[in-house]
Structure 1
Amino acid sequence: MQNLLQSGGLTELRDTRNGSYGAKLFFLAQDMLFYVALSQDDRWWRVVKTQDQGRAEAIYAQFSRKSFELVDGEIRRMQLAAQKALLERVIVKSAERANRLSADLALA
């Protein structure tokens, strides 16, 4: 499929992106073939070839749902990283305030 893409033989019919995951439906007109692909970071890791348009559409829908499900882990990691960074900033500000209060108490 990669060679067909590079040569321009495939026509992209559908494309779904969810984070780093994606699903695509291609058509090879000269052979009346459909290619359905599931990818991560633009690397194909599941490809199905069929002449049946209905089957191709069904597989594409399945791969689209799968990309939606797979990205949940990425989204959760991003949220947790942002939450961790926020908490670290709050801790730093709280420590600075505690130091200022301690200094004020020492002066008083």
Structure 2
Amino acid sequence: MKSLLNRRSVLAGPSHLVQIAREHAANPVLPDDKDETAFAATDSSAVPTSPAEPVRPVTTLRPVPVVPSPVYTRGVQIADTAEVEWLCKEEALTPFRVFRSFDYSVSLLFHAKELAYYIALYQDGSLWRALKAPDLEAAEGAFHHFEEQATRLSDGETRRAQLEAQNEQLARMIASSEAQAERLRNDLQRRGAQEQTVSSRQHQVRKEVAQLEAQRVAAQAHLNKAHRQIHQLNLASNEAIPHLPGR
């Protein structure tokens, strides 16, 4: 019995004082052998006997965002598309809001006779889906819901329009660059041809200048020769004149 109590005190850790009734404290009842066996079995199951068992960490609780309920739960109902088309044909609906994104459009329509609101989603001008709301607040919520849906549906159209515009811009830039490159090539070719013409002309001019210079030198030599001959002839002529005495 003492060994069992010592074992329980060691396993259970520090002891705690427990208030009991006076009649039980005056007449304490000790458990018999069967109760000891049952108590030991219960106590051993309550306290882990294997110290090597890993302790599992407790997952920290984090706040989870509350997802708002769909618009259909706030009095919004599915409307009959044929009825909506007939009301539009009869001009019984007044448009409050209109949203359009490429082939998709959303309209918030007011039926004054019934004080009801219709939210219509169109695809390429054809009525696709329609909702009916009893008040403007719920109708605006449904309208924004359809607006987000139309925006998501037209994301591909938006991207396609952007890519088409970018491709057209790139094509224009490529054409402009190619035209500019062609002009530069033509300019370079024309400049090269002009430089070749100028070079040939300069060579021809230098050749003609050399020829003219040779002709000038030959003419100057001939002229000098002629002057010498004239001088000699003058001298010969002067020798034939008799010497006349002066007065």
Which of 45, 70, 95 is the matching residue for 1:12? 95
Which of these residues, 77, 85, 110, is aligned with residue 27 of structure 1?
110
Q: d(CA) in 1 for partners of 2:180 and 2:112?
A: 68
Q: Which has the larger radius of gyration?
A: 2
Question: CA–CA distance in 2 between the matches of 1:29 and 1:106?
Answer: 78
1:62 to 145, 149, 153: 145
1:81 paired with 2:155, answer: no
Say which SS state the counterpart of residue 92 (structure 2) adopts.
coil
Whole-Å separation in 1 of the counterparts to 2:172 and 2:96: 46
Which one has the bigger strand percentage?
Answer: 1
What is the one-letter code of the residue matched to 1:75? T
Q: Structure 2: where are the runs of 5+ without partners?
A: 1-83, 193-247
Rounded Cα–Cα distance in structure 2 between residues aligned with 1:56 and 1:103: 67
Structure 1 gap ranges (5+)? none
Quick one: percent identity of the two aligned structures?
36
Matched residue of 1:30: which SS? coil
State whether structure 2 residue 183 is matched by structure 1 residue 100.
yes
RMSD between aligned alpha carbons?
A: 2.3
After TM superposition, the score normalised by the length of structure 1 is 0.76
Amino acid at match of 1:62: H
Q: Which has the higher contact order (CA 8 A, sep 6+)?
A: 1
Q: CA deviation at 1:55?
A: 4.0
